[in-house]
Structure 1
Amino acid sequence: MSLSQLLQDPPYEFEQQDKQRAYEQVMICLSDTADNKLKDICSNLSTDQQDTLMRYLYKGLESCENSLKLLKWHGALSEVAGLGCIMRVLSEKRKRVL
């Protein structure tokens, strides 16, 4: 499954095991992507998908697993989506829990 498909309909209202499975799939996809393709992939995501990716990145950074790769993704996504993506995710009134 591609990253854009995984980000299309995130499991906000599902059981924790479904959320964990989706998170693991996204993390595998992120870690398997070559660094020179990150910006192109981020450019092809919709605004909603970019915001969802940012949520997954922050969740991944909380666990400190594969931080270097996640920071590369964060840099590429921030460059493409701008600071608005970060602000939308961090300032949501109703936290969307992944």
Structure 2
Amino acid sequence: MSLTQFLENPPYEEQPQEKQRIYEQVINSLSDTADNKMKDTCNNLDTDQQDALMRYIYKGLENCDNSLKLLKWHGALSEVAGLGCIMRVMSEKRKRVL
């Protein structure tokens, strides 16, 4: 599956093992993406997909999974999606758990 496909249907309601498997695939996909392709990738996502990506980025940073690459993704996504993406993810009343 591609990154976009994972972001279309985030596994909010899946079992923990399935969530972990998908999380690892998303992090691997992010890690394998060239730095110069990040902004283009973010531009091709809709708002819901951008928010899901931001959730994965924050989870990866929380777990210290390839933090340097994730910080680059955070910068690219923030540039494309704006601060609204960060605010939506950080202020959700019902926390969506990936």
- So what's the TM-score if we normalise by structure 2? 0.98
Q: Counterpart amino acid of 1:26?
A: V
- Aligned-pair CA distance for 1:66: 0.5
Gapped runs of 5+ residues in structure 1? Answer: none
Moved over 6 A (4+): none
Residue 87 of structure 2: aligned partner: 87
Residue 2 of structure 2: aligned partner: 2
- Report sequence identity in percent: 79
SS in 1 for 2:29: helix
- Aligned-pair CA distance for 1:21: 0.6
- Aligned-pair CA distance for 1:64: 1.0
Residue 73 of structure 1: aligned partner: 73
Q: How big is the alpha-carbon RMSD for the aligned residues of Structure 1 and Structure 2? A: 0.5
Whole-Å separation in 2 of the counterparts to 1:36 and 1:14: 33
Whole-Å separation in 2 of the counterparts to 1:34 and 1:65: 17
- So what's the TM-score if we normalise by structure 1? 0.98
Whole-Å separation in 2 of the counterparts to 1:21 and 1:54: 18
- Aligned-pair CA distance for 1:3: 0.8
Q: Counterpart amino acid of 2:93?
A: K
Whole-Å separation in 2 of the counterparts to 1:15 and 1:64: 22
Whole-Å separation in 2 of the counterparts to 1:54 and 1:30: 12
Residue 27 of structure 1: aligned partner: 27
- Aligned-pair CA distance for 1:65: 1.8
Gapped runs of 5+ residues in structure 2? Answer: none
Q: Deviations over 1:26-72 (max 9, x none)?
A: 00100000000000000000100000000000000001120000000
